[in-house]
């Protein structure tokens, strides 16, 4: 079996099936640190939760490989559009704490 198969779609990009996702991330993930395949994210395009290991890869007409939301092609989010759920929850909690402090309401930690 090949390490990856290319599957044509009715979009101008072609989906590339990745069989070793950990290896692919190690070689292509654009940020540091490289997340675990089990790490959870929120896609800000479709607002759905995802696990890193559920990503898809699409190859553009120029040959560039895009790490895409598992909901692609319905969702056009890529890896840059994913917020770690832990960080998302922390940011929302911090914003809520700020609002409530302004109103003299104390939230538990």
- 18 located within any domain: yes
- 64 located within any domain: yes
Q: Which two tokens stand for residue 29?
A: 């993930």
pTM for the whole thing?
0.69
Between 54 and 3, residue with greater pLDDT? 54
pLDDT digits (tens, 9 = 90+) for 38-97: 999 999 999 999 999 999 999 988 889 999 999 999 999 999 999 998 755 555 555 555
- 12 located within any domain: yes
Domain that holds residue 18: 4-84
Of the candidates 79, 76, 82, 81, the one whose C-alpha atom is nearest the C-alpha of residue 9 is: 76
Domain count of the fold of the chain: 1
**In the predicted model, is pLDDT for residue 1 greater than 80?**
no
- 108 located within any domain: no
SS3 106: coil
pLDDT digits (tens, 9 = 90+) for 50-60: 999 999 999 98
Helix and strand tally (H, E) in the chain? Answer: 2, 7
- 91 located within any domain: no
Q: What residues have CB less than 8 Å from 35, skipping those under 6 apart?
A: 25, 29, 41, 52, 84
- 95 located within any domain: no
């Amino acid at each position: 079996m090949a390490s990856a198969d290319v599957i044509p779609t009715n979009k101008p990009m072609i989906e590339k099936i990745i069989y070793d996702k950990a290896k692919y991330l190690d070689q292509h993930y654009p940020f540091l640190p490289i997340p675990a395949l089990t790490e959870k994210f929120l896609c800000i395009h479709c607002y759905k939760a995802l696990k890193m290991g559920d990503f898809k890869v699409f190859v553009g007409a120029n040959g560039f490989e895009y790490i895409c939301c598992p909901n692609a092609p319905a969702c056009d989010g890529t890896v840059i559009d994913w917020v770690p759920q832990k960080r998302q929850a922390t940011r929302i909690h911090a914003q809520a704490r700020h609002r409530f402090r302004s109103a003299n309401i104390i939230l538990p930690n």
